[in-house]
Chain A
Amino acid sequence: MTRLAATACLMLAAGGACAAPLTVAISTADGAPYADVVAILDPAEGPAPTPAEPGSAVIDQVHKAFVPRVSVIRTGTAVYFPNSDRIRHQVYSLSAARSFNLKLYAGTAAPPVVFGQSGLVVLGCNIHDSMVGFVAVVDTPYFGRTGADGRARIEAPAGRYRLRLWHPELAATVAPRAVVLGAEPQTLELRVARGDDPSAVSPWVD
């Protein structure tokens, strides 16, 4: 049945717009739901999707941590870094994709940072070394991030895609896989190995 739906949707996609949601359910080797896994669908064929008006995102700082710890945004998105702590933070990034250095601030005084280049940006606070945040900047508009239940729902038109998975503490890089979306919603259940070194960041694969 799934195969039928997928075939139908492919056919639809070839002929016109047809959208079906993809749900990615990620669990660790022991079967536990794996949160904060970034799932990205890159169109495998056809024209690049029409760039939509870049939106904005918020990465809050709560209890000396970036919330969310892992973000995934579309290229050109302006990200706000409000400070919900009573202490000040000095958010910076030295990543090649986007390096910036916000001045020491509190509250919402900081200007939004536009991430214009795809890639992984590691966020830090010059004052608090323990604060680490990750921003995955992608060119595709089809992406999601697993919640506490390990599931992420991605809306994308039917078609062929390449599915990339990333998480800062993966034990090994998860190879991209081909996904065909049809008219029927489908769920992809995957298991990944979770790394145990919090300081070792999984390499980012474009």
Chain B
Amino acid sequence: MQLRTRIAVTFLALLAVVLAAALLAVSAANQTNAEREINRQLETGRLVFERALETNRRQLAQAAQVLAADFGFREAVASRDAETIVSALQNHGARIGASLAVLLSLDGRVLASTDPTIAIGENFRQADALRRADPGERGPSVAVANGHVHQLVMVPVRSPLPVAWVVMGFALDEQAVRELASVTGLDVTLATRTLGGWTAAASTLPKAQLPGALVALAQGGDVQGDLALRALPLIANPDVAVTVALTRSVAEARRPFDRLTDRLVLIALASLSLTAVAAFWVARNITRPLQALAGVVERIRGGRYDAEVEIERRDEIGTLAEGLQLMRAAVESRDHDIRTLAYTDRLTGLMNRTAFAAALAEALRAGEPRTALALINVRRFRRINECLGYGVGDEVLRQIAARLDEPPRLASRVGRVAGDYFAAYTPLGAGTTPEQWGAQLLARLAAPVVVSGQPIDVSTTVGLASAPDDSADADDLLRCADLALERARRDNADLRRYDAAWRVATPEQLSLLGELKRAIDEGELKLAFQPKIQLTSGELCGVEALMRWQHPTRGLLPPGAFVPFAEQAGFIRKLTRYALREATVIGAQWHRAGRPLPIAVNISADDLADPGFEAGVAEALRESGLPPSLLALEVTESGFIADPAQALGRLEALRLLGVGLSIDDFGTGYSSLSYLTRMPVDELKIDRSFVSALGSSSEVAAVVRAALEMAHSLGLKVVAEGIEDVATAQQLAVLGCDVGQGYLYSKPLLRADFERWRDAQPLPATSPPSILPAPRAVAARSR
């Protein structure tokens, strides 16, 4: 429910409840009051009525007494002259308007009467009651005579002792009833009961209501229909009864109270309506600005900060609006800051990786015909940081950034995508190759960077990729450039352009990655062992452990099928650790079994970049119990070309562990001999490409011979790989090669097969010769 409605409804409901309660209370009070009022009126009416009757009686009595005291009348009575007496009665009765005058003997017999229906000599029915009521006592006495009801008084005639009674009566007729009604304020009904039931002698009630009043009288009730009734019995004899019924119309008595209730209802309705209007008005006044504010908030939420809060009020809502306005500005400012932080490199002010990738994607989407992307790495930047401090390192990065970004601009956008990695892209004009553009970049960065007046040589490597040739997707294009950069670093070259042939990340290989992870857990990776044979004696002198993948669907896979991919995918460290653990365990078992055999494990360039690598090797040795001298690690040339200083340090650390080190695939890389002299290795493995061509090419033979001589002069043992025939083996032996390895002796065998093969070899006469010179000697030589 809307706030506006809620406020209004709440107030209305509250008011309605209060009004309803008030109405109920008033209505109940009115009901009670009306009943009480009716009772009060009836009671008052009764008192007034009785008083009126009494007053009548007194007047009547007085008149009767005057008559009785009249000497002439007394003489007439004394004379017993009936006609005279009747005339006297008529005369005196007429004086006071009496309807009846009767002379009674002392014992109550009629002596004379003005009413001819009252027979002379008959017993006057009410005489006893009247005598009891006289003198001065209250209480009306009535009589029915000649069909009329009369109020009667009786006084004695004295001469001077009582000699007779004079009875005088007033007719209680319509006239009298009307007068009584006017003094009591009630309807007065005079009813008589004879054998035929109640009949009304006189009444001020409307004819329609008369039967109801008579029924009430007959039943003795005090309410009949609309009439509230109070009965005053005047005569209650078994054969005749006279009762005065005072009645009040209940509806009429209630009318003032009903009017009050009606008025209250009207007032309640009016106040409800007014309150409704007022409540809605107030609520709207409150909620309209709130709605406006809600709209502003909604716009701000949507990132639109242009919405001005236009509410000028002095109340809380005004304060809220002002607060919202301030908040809007603050949010806008912070949003700007956050965007800046999120998309800007703080050190150089260039775009960061996220922003650059987005910009590149945008540019590619915009559909430039050709776009060249360059990833630029500052070579040996780590050395700069380490030797000259981070401040200088930062300054170098800043200056490089400035050069890349300064006019004339070489690139549309430049970003710093990682520590010492920059990226730039540019549309390529017709006839321009990415390599040319890359060369321009290199040229701009060629000059030494001057920090605090000191020139620092900075060399950079560039990896290039171009859209749409290599990829039309920004992320993919960046990966291509990254591969090109890596290739350039590995090749120790300034610049490489991405070659589609490098693309290995086929969908098949992508699935391979997941499988490879599983393979380690499931134990699908096995070690295969290829023996190393002393060429001079033909004895087994060592073994190279090679990784085999017992793939559940593709069968046994050689290392070449998954190791390069693992290297690219950053998975090679895990593979190496796995191989190391397996090899040391097996080597230790052989050692404990009395058949110690040096085991060589291949490690990759990535392992050399792993600061925890030597610790991992030491742990494998410790856990397996394999003496370090029985473990050798084979590193390819490329393994230390990317960062020779780092590789050198790592190899020296490994050397200190006491494990053997050898250079694998010698001759395929571009390593300089100067590195070779500095490497703390004790073995050189000549690549199989030389061995296989040895017999057919005298040039190769010359190279092999030179290598052998160089190695031996450095004190290194030389192993020839890929020996497949006896002639080659003999030729190598002649050339002075120490150890041979190849299908001539055995292909790589899984452990069980290898142990069977080993056990089939003739045992050496003496203990196996060490293939390793003393570490100390190597260390000395490496300097």
Could you list which residues of chain A lie within 8 angstroms of chain B, going by C-beta atoms?
92, 94-96, 99, 101, 122-126, 129, 131-132, 199, 201
Q: Are B159 and A124 in contact (CB under 8 A)?
A: yes
What B residues does A95 contact at CB under 8 A? 78, 159
Given A94-B78, A99-B78: A129 and B158 interface contact (C-beta under 8 Å): yes
Tell whether B74 is near chain A: CB-to-CB under 8 Å. Answer: yes
- 25 residue pairs from A and B, CB less than 8 Å apart: A94-B75, A94-B77, A94-B159, A94-B163, A95-B159, A96-B78, A99-B75, A99-B78, A101-B71, A122-B159, A122-B160, A122-B161, A124-B158, A124-B159, A125-B160, A126-B71, A129-B69, A129-B158, A129-B160, A131-B160, A132-B160, A132-B161, A199-B161, A199-B162, A201-B161
Chain B contacts with A in 34-68, Cβ cutoff 8 A: none
What A residues does B161 contact at CB under 8 A? 122, 124, 132, 199, 201
* Minimum CB distance partner of B159 in chain A: A94
Q: Are B71 and A92 in contact (CB under 8 A)?
A: yes
| Bound complex: CA A95 to CA B78 (Å) | 7
Chain B contacts with A in 557-599, Cβ cutoff 8 A: none
Q: Are A94 and B162 in contact (CB under 8 A)?
A: no
Please give the distance in Å from B61's CB to the nearest CB on chain A.
Answer: 16
| Bound complex: CA A132 to CA B163 (Å) | 13
Total CB contacts across the A-B interface at under 8 A: 32
What B residues does A199 contact at CB under 8 A? 161-162
Interface string of B749-780 (1 = CB under 8 A from A): 00000000000000000000000000000000
Is the contact region of chain A dominated by helix, strand, or loop, or is it mixed?
strand
Please give the distance in Å from B234's CB to the nearest CB on chain A.
Answer: 29
With A124-B159, A132-B161 known, 16 other A-B pairs at CB within 8 A are A92-B71, A94-B74, A94-B75, A94-B77, A94-B78, A94-B159, A94-B163, A99-B75, A99-B78, A124-B158, A124-B161, A129-B158, A129-B160, A132-B160, A199-B161, A201-B161
Chain B contacts with A in 64-121, Cβ cutoff 8 A: 69, 71, 74-75, 77-78
| Bound complex: CA A101 to CA B158 (Å) | 15
| Bound complex: CA A123 to CA B160 (Å) | 7
Please give the distance in Å from B386's CB to the nearest CB on chain A.
Answer: 156
Please give the distance in Å from B293's CB to the nearest CB on chain A.
Answer: 107
What A residues does B158 contact at CB under 8 A? 124, 129
| Bound complex: CA A132 to CA B71 (Å) | 16
Chain B contacts with A in 152-182, Cβ cutoff 8 A: 158-163
Please give the distance in Å from A199's CB to the nearest CB on chain B.
Answer: 6
Please give the distance in Å from B177's CB to the nearest CB on chain A.
Answer: 37
What A residues does B74 contact at CB under 8 A? 94
| Bound complex: CA A123 to CA B69 (Å) | 15
* Minimum CB distance partner of B75 in chain A: A94
Q: Are B160 and A124 in contact (CB under 8 A)?
A: yes
What A residues does B77 contact at CB under 8 A? 94
Q: Which of A99, A125, A131 gathers most chain B CB within 10 Å?
A: A99
The 10 A-B pairs with the shortest beta carbon distances in the complex, nearest first, are A124-B160, A94-B78, A94-B159, A132-B160, A201-B161, A129-B160, A199-B162, A122-B161, A129-B158, A199-B161
Q: Which of B159, B160, B162 gathers most chain A CB within 10 Å?
A: B160
What B residues does A92 contact at CB under 8 A? 71
* Minimum CB distance partner of B157 in chain A: A94
What B residues does A101 contact at CB under 8 A? 71
What B residues does A99 contact at CB under 8 A? 75, 78
Please give the distance in Å from A121's CB to the nearest CB on chain B.
Answer: 11
| Bound complex: CA A129 to CA B71 (Å) | 12
* Minimum CB distance partner of A133 in chain B: B160
What B residues does A123 contact at CB under 8 A? 160
* Minimum CB distance partner of A96 in chain B: B78
* Minimum CB distance partner of B78 in chain A: A94
* Minimum CB distance partner of A132 in chain B: B160
| Bound complex: CA A144 to CA B163 (Å) | 28
Chain B contacts with A in 19-45, Cβ cutoff 8 A: none
| Bound complex: CA A131 to CA B159 (Å) | 10
Chain B contacts with A in 116-168, Cβ cutoff 8 A: 158-163
What B residues does A131 contact at CB under 8 A? 160
| Bound complex: CA A136 to CA B161 (Å) | 16
* Minimum CB distance partner of B156 in chain A: A199
| Bound complex: CA A172 to CA B311 (Å) | 120
Please give the distance in Å from B629's CB to the nearest CB on chain A.
Answer: 167
| Bound complex: CA A96 to CA B159 (Å) | 11
| Bound complex: CA A99 to CA B69 (Å) | 17
| Bound complex: CA A190 to CA B142 (Å) | 48
| Bound complex: CA A85 to CA B483 (Å) | 168
Please give the distance in Å from B67's CB to the nearest CB on chain A.
Answer: 15
| Bound complex: CA A121 to CA B159 (Å) | 11
What B residues does A125 contact at CB under 8 A? 160
| Bound complex: CA A62 to CA B343 (Å) | 148
Please give the distance in Å from A156's CB to the nearest CB on chain B.
Answer: 31
What B residues does A132 contact at CB under 8 A? 160-161
| Bound complex: CA A111 to CA B406 (Å) | 174
| Bound complex: CA A129 to CA B75 (Å) | 15
Please give the distance in Å from B514's CB to the nearest CB on chain A.
Answer: 144
What B residues does A126 contact at CB under 8 A? 71
What A residues does B75 contact at CB under 8 A? 94, 99
| Bound complex: CA A112 to CA B227 (Å) | 72
Please give the distance in Å from B64's CB to the nearest CB on chain A.
Answer: 15
What A residues does B78 contact at CB under 8 A? 94-96, 99
Please give the distance in Å from A69's CB to the nearest CB on chain B.
Answer: 12
Please give the distance in Å from B160's CB to the nearest CB on chain A.
Answer: 3
Please give the distance in Å from A179's CB to the nearest CB on chain B.
Answer: 30
| Bound complex: CA A201 to CA B74 (Å) | 18
* Minimum CB distance partner of A99 in chain B: B78
Please give the distance in Å from A64's CB to the nearest CB on chain B.
Answer: 12
What B residues does A124 contact at CB under 8 A? 158-161
Please give the distance in Å from A152's CB to the nearest CB on chain B.
Answer: 24
| Bound complex: CA A92 to CA B12 (Å) | 94
Please give the distance in Å from B163's CB to the nearest CB on chain A.
Answer: 8
* Minimum CB distance partner of A123 in chain B: B160
| Bound complex: CA A125 to CA B69 (Å) | 12
What B residues does A129 contact at CB under 8 A? 69, 158, 160
| Bound complex: CA A125 to CA B75 (Å) | 14
Please give the distance in Å from B382's CB to the nearest CB on chain A.
Answer: 155
* Minimum CB distance partner of B76 in chain A: A94
* Minimum CB distance partner of B71 in chain A: A126
| Bound complex: CA A203 to CA B71 (Å) | 23
* Minimum CB distance partner of A122 in chain B: B161
What B residues does A94 contact at CB under 8 A? 74-75, 77-78, 159, 163
| Bound complex: CA A122 to CA B158 (Å) | 11
